[in-house]
Structure 1
Amino acid sequence: MDWTVIQAAIPNFVAGLKITLWMSFVGILGSLIVGLFCSLIQYFKLPVIAKIISVYVEVSRNTPLLIQLFFLYYAFPVIGWKMSAGTCGVVGLTFLGGSYMAEAFTGGFKGITQSQIDAGKAIGMNRKQLARYVIFPQGLSLSVPALAANVIFLIKETSIFSVIAIPELTNTALDLIGIYYRSNEYLFMLVVAYAIILIPLSIILTLLERKVRYGSFGN
């Protein structure tokens, strides 16, 4: 292990880290928006649209991100829709993450007891008020553990972006290995870079889970 090699490569990995963080942030934010929208449609069983959403969720969850990226990056230009590698990566991450977030939100909404809904109806709440004051706030709290796991999962999935030449962390490491043949040093830096992102985030998300957890579900 040559520490001078590691020191010289730090600027490259910092640049890759910034790209990874930015694309993760945009992709996860998009995933949360898409997931919440899809989940509400499925929960309230809106005709026709709910079935379309179910198809999207099944297709997205049962195809690898690698295949989705290849399709977006290489197939779409054939029909005249060309995207940059960065846009393709964000769209792919949002497409995949939206389905996982939808399932997480749906699980939280379904976790609300029928007695809570009946109590809301008993005091005269309509469907919109039930969604706003009963279903959404409680379902969101119940969804936090699954949402947190999905956030970690999606950040790790950004390593797939290397296949479409986005200069994120994995691509940076592979490029440096190809140029200088110093696998040990650059792979070590890759592990450290992901640890810098994921370990603090995991701690923060764990604390958030404890904060929003209902008393009946633990301390």
Structure 2
Amino acid sequence: MIETFRQYGPALVQGFAMTVFCWAAGAVLSMALGLGIALVQRYAPRPVQWLLRVYIEVIRGTPFLVQLFVLYYGGPMVGLMLDPVPAGIVGLTIYGSPYYAEIFRSGFSAVPKGQIEAARAIGMTEGTIIGRILLPLGLVSALPALVNFSIILTKETVILSIITVPELMYQVGRMGAETFRYVETNLALALFFWALVEVISRVGRRLEARLTQHLTPRA
């Protein structure tokens, strides 16, 4: 078994690096898109809010596998030709953005309305209110959910192997097919993902402690 992992170790590490890359790119882009959707929902006219609500409900109501298939295999029908890795990142971005949008919307709802009304009363522009009040206070409330969904998004990367993205699941599947050691290969998959989730969790806890340190009473 040790010889098997020694043989396939470089491929597993490369697959893990691709998994981290796809997850990081997808998480950052979907978080940015989700933030934009949440802000537009808050300030846009009602018809635009309805359109965004339809987008959110459609994406949240369909499996990521189906979305990825439509994007990768259906895209060429409308002139959208994407290689596997870009298609995987775009797929993760589309899939994650509605969830992040709802998390940000919930965080914004937790900001006391009195603070926003007071800011408007002293002449602050909406852009300043967003940058100095809505985002900082909303992020404090939304951070645990943001970290939690980011962890969930790591596990969705295994679906990218379906469109031949050479991420960890793809490499593990190849290793299992060639060696017939399915228990060991899936154990390696679980350990890699456990390590990634543990890192994200620790970073999330540090960020939460930093953002909420001013809320902790001092002795």
TM over 0.5: yes
| Distance in 2 (alpha carbons) for counterparts of 1:217 and 1:59 | 40
| Correspondence 1:154-173 to 2 at 5 A | 154-173=153-172
| Distance in 1 (alpha carbons) for counterparts of 2:165 and 2:120 | 51
Provide the residue aligned with 2:133 in structure 1: 134
Give the conservation status (yes or no) of the 8 Å contact 2:158–2:167.
yes
Provide the residue aligned with 1:50 in structure 2: 49
The superposition leaves residues 114-158 of structure 1 with CA deviations (integer Å, 9 ceiling, x where unpaired) of 221222123222333322222122112221111111111111110
The superposition leaves residues 76-106 of structure 1 with CA deviations (integer Å, 9 ceiling, x where unpaired) of 2123322111111111100011111111111
Provide the residue aligned with 2:204 in structure 1: 205
* TM-score, L = length of structure 2: 0.92
Give the conservation status (yes or no) of the 8 Å contact 1:13–1:193.
no
| Distance in 1 (alpha carbons) for counterparts of 2:183 and 2:8 | 13
| Correspondence 1:1-219 to 2 at 5 A | 2-213=1-212
| Distance in 2 (alpha carbons) for counterparts of 1:133 and 1:44 | 17
| Distance in 2 (alpha carbons) for counterparts of 1:176 and 1:128 | 52
3-state SS of paired residue (2:81): coil
Give the conservation status (yes or no) of the 8 Å contact 2:147–2:200.
no
Question: In terms of mean alpha carbon deviation, does 137-146 or 12-21 score higher?
Answer: 137-146
Matched AA of 1:56 = Y
Give the conservation status (yes or no) of the 8 Å contact 1:159–1:168.
yes
| Distance in 2 (alpha carbons) for counterparts of 1:46 and 1:210 | 37
Q: Percent identity?
A: 31
| Distance in 2 (alpha carbons) for counterparts of 1:9 and 1:46 | 55
* TM-score, L = length of structure 1: 0.92
Question: In terms of mean alpha carbon deviation, does 189-198 or 125-134 score higher?
Answer: 125-134
Shift of residue 216 of structure 1?
Answer: 5.6
Shift of residue 214 of structure 1?
Answer: 6.8
Question: In terms of mean alpha carbon deviation, does 39-48 or 63-72 score higher?
Answer: 39-48
3-state SS of paired residue (2:161): helix
Shift of residue 211 of structure 1?
Answer: 2.1
